Amino acid sequence: MFAIFIVTCFVAFTGYRLHSLTWSGALLTVVTGTMIGWAFGWFGLYLLGVFFSTSSLASKYRSRDKKEVDEIVEKTGARDYVQVLANGGVGIMCAIGYLVFEETVWIMMYIASIAAATSDTWGSEFGVLSKRKPRFMFTFKTVEPGTSGAVSTFGTVMSIAGGGLIILASVPFMSFGWSTFLLLWVVGLSGSVIDTLLGATVQRKYRCVVCDKLTEKRMHHDTPTAYVSGWRFLGNDAVNFLSIFSVAWICFSLFS
């Protein structure tokens, strides 16, 4: 337990030093890591590590080419505690569930939720680098890269790969059959679909009154942006949390 805490602190501090995490994000990473390590042992921490390291690398990858996307998405750069909770909060719930009920389904929910988080992060971090502009779900019109609710082929492929990596990474440690793993992969991917659906429908959107760009930011060019559509309380972090939560819930209904 103590070793798990020390390793988590080290990872969080490294994330902070590499500007992948803010101070509050690092603190929440320690809480998340310790809870998950407590419930699922080194396996839980290892899976979290695969998500954390590959997602950080994906964010850094060709970050210069993502400058324009930074104008659209709500938060850029180091992840704060809300973003850590949006991606890891469901993991904490699964950890608590497992500690209380000690049923395997909570481990599967944990794996699926990390797969969902990875698939979503890979999809957006790589997807914005797609050579072709993404298309908006429902209308199929091309929109600016980074727009929530839009998909590109490259982003979709990377999203499938990211989720697959997590499922594959857990294969050596679990005694489930291949059909279960395939099902977990699909369940994990459903998170990206839910995320995109919510992004296309109810996620709040604003428009900059200076440059007329659609954005998720409340401020653009140091000027408050104008509300366009969506539920005002539903930002990117809430959408992330909801989609990962849905994955855990689907997993629970399937395997319990």
Using CB under 5 A, list all residues that contact Zn ion: 208, 210-211, 220-221
Residue 135 or 205 with smaller CB distance to Zn ion: 205
- Say if CB 216 and CB 148 are below 8 A apart: yes
- Say if CB 256 and CB 187 are below 8 A apart: no
CB of 213 to Zn ion, least distance (A): 5
CB of 227 to Zn ion, least distance (A): 15
Residue 6 or 211 with smaller CB distance to Zn ion: 211
Residue 94 or 214 with smaller CB distance to Zn ion: 214
Residue 103 or 144 with smaller CB distance to Zn ion: 144
Q: How far apart are CA 143 and CA 169, in angstroms?
A: 34
- Say if CB 144 and CB 72 are below 8 A apart: yes
CB of 144 to Zn ion, least distance (A): 12
State phi, psi for 237 to the nearest 5 degrees. -65, -40
Torsion of CA 87, 174, 249, 137, to 10 degrees: 60
CB of 215 to Zn ion, least distance (A): 7
**Helices 23-60 + 81-101 axis angle, to 10:** 100
CB of 225 to Zn ion, least distance (A): 8
Residue 117 or 208 with smaller CB distance to Zn ion: 208
- Say if CB 207 and CB 215 are below 8 A apart: yes
